Structures are given as C-alpha cells and as structure tokens.
Structure 1
C-alpha cells in the first residue's frame, strides 16, 4: 500500500477498503498539516521577527535574573507582545525619509489624514486645502506642511492600568480603550487639543487611564510650533487657523481685565 507499484497489496474486501480509505485520509491530513507548519516557519523567518524573538529572550533573561514578581513579568510580556506592531510606524518614517519631497507629502497625507482630520484645526486646514484644489489652486506646499506635521508625530504606547496626563501634548488614540476624566473613549479619540496654548494655566487637564493596552500618536507643542515657524512664509494659513482656535478656546478662561494680556501670550 505504500510502495510505487512493485508488489502492492490491494484491499480485497469491504473492511480492508475502509481501513485503506481511513489511512489515506489521515496521512493526507497529516502531510498537509506538516507542510503548512513548515511554510509558516519559513514565512516567519525575517529580520523583524528574529529581532523581536531576541528582544523577548533578553527580556525573559533579565526578569528571571532580577527575580521580578510573576504578575509583573506577565504584564511586561503582554506589553511587548502588543507593542510588536508599533515598530511598523518607525519603519514607515524611515521609508519616508528616502522619498522625494512630493512623494513624502502625498504618502504622509494618505497615512495620517484619517487621524489628523479628527483634530479641530487640522480638519479645518484640510478642508481649506480641498477648497483650494476645487478652484484649481496648486496645493503641494500645503500638503508639504501636512507631511512635516506627520513626521513630528510620535508613537507612544501605554500598558493596561497605566495612568498618564497631558501638558502641552496632543494625543490621538489609534488602538485600545482609554478612560479620560472617567469617560470611556475608543479608537480615534482626541484629547489635549489646547496644547497650542502657550499659557499652561489655560490648558484643561485631562487624566488618562488605559483600560486596555493602548497606542497613541503624540504631538508636542514644541514640535508643532517648529513646523509653523518653518512654514510661516509658504503656508501662513495654518498659523492663522491655529491662532483663531487659541482665541476661541481661551475666551472662557481669559475673561476679565487680564484677558487681553493673556491673549497676547497665547501663541508665540
């Protein structure tokens, strides 16, 4: 039954035919399983996967050597396992550096547009670009500004049950669930939009608590203002939109005799 035709023994009754059929089916399934496992192993052999396995190996060695409690070891391993895909964002940023300026602008817009549009003043700026394009105006310099902002976004991850706050930092939630001042938010949530205010006393504090492992895109005020300063001649519209947003946000906080003095220091 297992040779290639020399001295085969064929089934001669019903029982033998049933046994042969079962053997052929089982052997076929086992062969398919083995072949599938081999293909999966070969497909997983790449530099990124090997680097992650080495990182986990060193992590386990470190925790075992330092006698870290088992519960903390479990949380650390869970963080690294969830955080594995975040390396893709870093790889994307490195690839963008090797592109031409126009391709950088187009690719950055395509990658980050769904996230940036959730921010109030970024959404207004994108709508302005779309309006200008409908009028036939060349908008590549505006999209280059979006590309600059995209490259300033920092991927940050927080472990489950981790608390954090924001001081002149914008957060866009890309993965997970977070509690913001006891309000549960999912993917796409934005907080810290008032990070553009120079007076920290006017910033509304937001206390964050990670209900699950979360990934966020963070933009600091310093990085954002560097982009505005660098693009103030080629793209002054963004600075104007941000300034109007600052005034609108600060009005309830800056009421009274000192209001004008506060407005003067909103955006440096």
Structure 2
C-alpha cells in the first residue's frame, strides 16, 4: 500500500511534456537593456520604445520614428530607389547588405523625405541603426546630401536624426568621402538661409559625429545617447587617463557646451513644433 501510494505521487509530480507546455509567441516580450525588466512588446512600442520603468531610450526604427513625429499620411519619401553596390568588391558585402534589406525592409540605413509636423512642412532624414549599424556608406551619404539639396531648393527646414557606428569599412575611402560631401551640402544650405536641426540618438559615433551630425543650427540629443568620434578605450589608452563614467553621453556633452539641449523622446514632437513655428514666424517678419 505504502509503495503504491508513493508511486502515485511520483506519477503526478512528473515534468509536463513538451506538448503540454504553453506556447509563447516569439517576439511577444521585450527585456529592457538597462534595468532588465520584461514588458510586452506592444507596451514598449506604444511608449515609443522608452522603458516605462527606468526611462531608457532603446533604438527606434526609421519608420517608427517617422510615424511618431509626422502628421498621419503626410510623409513623402525621397530617393527610395537608391541602393548600395559593392564598389570595392569586398568579399561577402553584398550578401550582408541583402540580409539587412530583408530584415529591415529598407534599401539603405537612412530614410529621407518631407512631411508635416503639426502642420509645418519640413525636410527630414532619419538613420536606422538596425541596417549595418547605421554605418555611413556612399549611398547613405548621397541620400543625405540630396535631401539637404532638396530642402534648399524648396526652402524647407531640414531635420536629421542620427544613429551610426561610424564609417562602413567595406567601402573604404568612398565611405570617408561622405563626411566632406554631406558637410559641403550643409554649408551651402546654411549660406542659403536654411534651418538645420540635428538630433543625435544612441549611438552617434565615428565619421557621422565628426561631420553632419554636429553642424546643425540646433544640436540636440536624446537622453543617454552615446556620442563621440573614437571609442572610450582608445582615448584612455592614448591619453593614459581614466575618463569619467558619463563620458561621451548626451548629458556630459550638454554640461560641456557641445549640445544645446537633451530632449526626451516623448517631448520631441512638441519641441520640434516650437522650433519650426518660431523660425517660420521669423521668416514671415523678415
């Protein structure tokens, strides 16, 4: 009797089979990279990818950014047809680019165009770090330069959101040349009286931070964004000094006069609306 009793107990204590486990759809949950709390992905998306617990700003995809800022149905994309080739015949480069195209639905790591933000028309570029880590290649530089030129020709303000790991090594010097191409486009735009607002998001590094990202009439950043040219470790090894914990963060740059403001993602549309409105009134009075 005793043997049968314990045998039955073992029977009911067995581990559930694979078939009896509850299936949780892949991608349903998202863990915060900062506080490690887990949320429903829908909840994070509704919060524009900002953690409800610690306020950490996770990277935002290009079209999610556009949809969070522009009046519905007003955004017109430019130069969507431009795609990256392999000018230096770098082994495996085309396959990696094609993989990112399929993963992101983008032809390149930047989306450009124009639309209305609270009824005010503006030209726009937004970089997407999920495509080749937002690295700057020849097509990215070309799309940004063309967007700035169109903004100049149509007398529109120009807003750019940057997110980049730096230059795209598979394109060598052609990638580095985009620094001068985009900077010259910004210079011509400025000389024509154009307004450029640069918003640096996490991360904005390398050649992007050293060129068009840092030369706006307003240089803004999202909270906690990593912004800098060389990496922290390289700088410490070069100067043989330990850097502050908050070095190269948006808050550090603001404190040292390299940014005009750090703006929370939830307040970004209101902030841009105020800037655009203020300059529109200035042009009317002039």
Same fold (TM over 0.5): no
Scaled to the shorter chain, the TM-score interval is under 0.3
Compare the two structures and name the one with the higher helix fraction.
1
Higher relative contact order (CA 8 A, sep 6+): 1
Bigger-Rg structure (1/2) = 1
Larger strand fraction of residues? 2
Q: TM-score, structure 1 length as denominator?
A: 0.27
- Tell me the TM-score normalised to structure 2 length: 0.25
